Amino acid sequence: MTFMILQELLVETKPLITQDTVTFGLLMIALGFVFYTSSRQTGFWAKFYKFVPALLMCYLIPSILSSTGIIGSEWKELEDGELVEKSSSLYFMASRYLLPAALVLMTLSIDLKAVFNLGPKALIMFLTGSVGIIIGGPIALLIFMSISPESFDATGFDAVWRGLSTIAGSWIGGGANQTAMLEVYKFNQELYGGMVLVDIVVANLWMAVLLFGIGYAAKFDKWTGADVGSIERLKKKITEYSLSVKREATLTDMMVMLAIGFGTVGIAHFAADYISSWIDADPAISKNIYLSFLTSQFFWLISIATLIGIILSYTPLKKYEGTGASRIGSIFIYILVATIGVKMDLRQVVENPLLILVGIVWMAIHAGLLILMAKLIKAPYFFMAVGSQANVGGAASAPVVAAEFHPSLTTVGVLLAVFGYVVGTIGAIGCTILMQIVVTS
């Protein structure tokens, strides 16, 4: 009887709409609604978007639809008396097809030298974010152990600190680093789903906070005393170039730009599959926890797409910025944002509230350290937000935040996110050692 009730409850969590075609239509309507209302110059919506960034609404509306059970990213269904896990493929489509296409189209007009002229503050903020994750885990664990020690006294492979190590890997590096930590510390895989839940819920909540903060970036920069001159000069330079080559896009132009974008996607996928498989077959690399991220197909996909975009920026194809290359890339980015929003189901918070609270405190320490460092080195909000997302969100969301400031800044998010893969496992191991000390001392 209990099992049957559990099955019914699980089936009840099935979203009202499960067809990706219908869900995609709803997401596009939501994006159209946001862009239309945010374009209003007077009235309620003009006042509303003074406080709430349009990008946040592109993320928030899908998350509300997901949280109310209208759409969803994952669910379970009964088939022939068996519970079967189902999932939407929209995020996979957006992150594997649209994101790499967006990266190459938005990188066509990049001035790589000007990006490096932004200085070391972006890297400092990224590393500060990593340190915040490394020390935040042990501190959060220490706080909650003093409140509810019985909740963290698991031993062996069920130990909570082992599970939290996978979150550290994800929040400093990415999915490949998370998997590496799962293998290193052998956390009970039956309990692993709970850690993935904490990772997704808290990381998405923090992304929502960062997106909301974009609307107050100028005030933040004034508070920190940040010099945004280098960023503004880069934005101005790219904008002036775009205006100098601007012309009405013909159908041929549109088709060529799509060919550049999705042709790159095809090349990047082909090369990424080959390289990741080749590396995975080499035990010297695939079994090395520090290098295991090199077996990630997604790592190579993003890296290769960005590299192709940078190479093409030195060719005559750069002029396609004048016919809207970065605008098409921005469309793809906004669709990606909407699919990320679908993954944010607030109902999941009640499934394991204590671990969610641990994650929130952990993230708060990460955020606090970033704000402190931003004040000390007078870093702009852009560097703080992108540095944080390069850690917590990785290559899928760091470009999203960077592009909201200007398409030309997308590469900054990608480069920092790729760097996160490199330091992710080392940082996560350091964090886990500290958590183990907290639990056993």
pLDDT single digits (tens) 260-281: 999 999 999 999 999 999 998 8
Measured between alpha carbons, how far is 192 from 160 in angstroms, rounded to an integer? Answer: 10
Does residue 61 have a pLDDT over 90?
A: yes
Please list, in sequence order, all residues whose beta carbon lies within 8 angstroms of the beta carbon of residue 298, skipping any fewer than 6 positions away: 95, 96, 174, 175, 176, 272, 395
Q: Worst-scoring range by mean pLDDT, 27-31, 291-295, 331-335?
A: 291-295
Among 352, 7, 392, which residue's Cα sits nearest to residue 194? Answer: 352
Domain extent listing, the chain = 2-88, 104-440
pLDDT of residue 153: 65
Q: Tell me: the pLDDT tens digits for 172-221?
A: 877 767 877 887 787 877 777 778 788 888 888 898 899 889 888 889 99
Does residue 4 have a pLDDT over 50?
A: no
**Percentage, residues of the chain above pLDDT 90:** 29
pLDDT of residue 405: 83
Query: Are the C-beta atoms of residues 199 and 344 closer than 8 Å to each other?
Result: no
pLDDT of residue 135: 94
What is the mean predicted confidence (pLDDT) over 272-297? 84
pTM of this prediction?
0.79
Measured between alpha carbons, how far is 395 from 379 in angstroms, rounded to an integer? Answer: 22
What is the mean predicted confidence (pLDDT) over 65-73? 89
What is the mean predicted confidence (pLDDT) over 77-81? 71
pLDDT band at 424 (very low <50, low <70, confident <90, very high): confident
pLDDT of residue 269: 96
Does residue 14 have a pLDDT over 60?
A: yes
What is the mean predicted confidence (pLDDT) over 27-50? 91
Indicate left, alpha or beta for 300 from its phi (over 0: left) and psi (-120 to 50: alpha).
Answer: alpha
Question: How high is the mean pLDDT of the chain?
Answer: 85
pLDDT of residue 438: 85
pLDDT band at 80 (very low <50, low <70, confident <90, very high): low
Query: Are the C-beta atoms of residues 377 and 226 closer than 8 Å to each other?
Result: no
pLDDT of residue 140: 93
Does residue 382 have a pLDDT over 50?
A: yes
Among 326, 294, 325, which residue's Cα sits nearest to residue 418? Answer: 294
Please list, in sequence order, all residues whose beta carbon lies within 8 angstroms of the beta carbon of residue 127, skipping any fewer than 6 positions away: none
Please list, in sequence order, all residues whose beta carbon lies within 8 angstroms of the beta carbon of residue 105, skipping any fewer than 6 positions away: 257, 260, 261, 309, 325, 326, 328, 329, 332
Q: Tell me: the pLDDT tens digits for 238-257?
A: 778 778 888 889 999 999 99
Specify which of 177-186, 192-201, 413-422, 428-437 reaches the highest per-range mean pLDDT: 428-437
327 or 178: which leads in pLDDT: 327
pLDDT band at 84 (very low <50, low <70, confident <90, very high): confident
What is the mean predicted confidence (pLDDT) over 433-440? 86
pLDDT of residue 373: 95
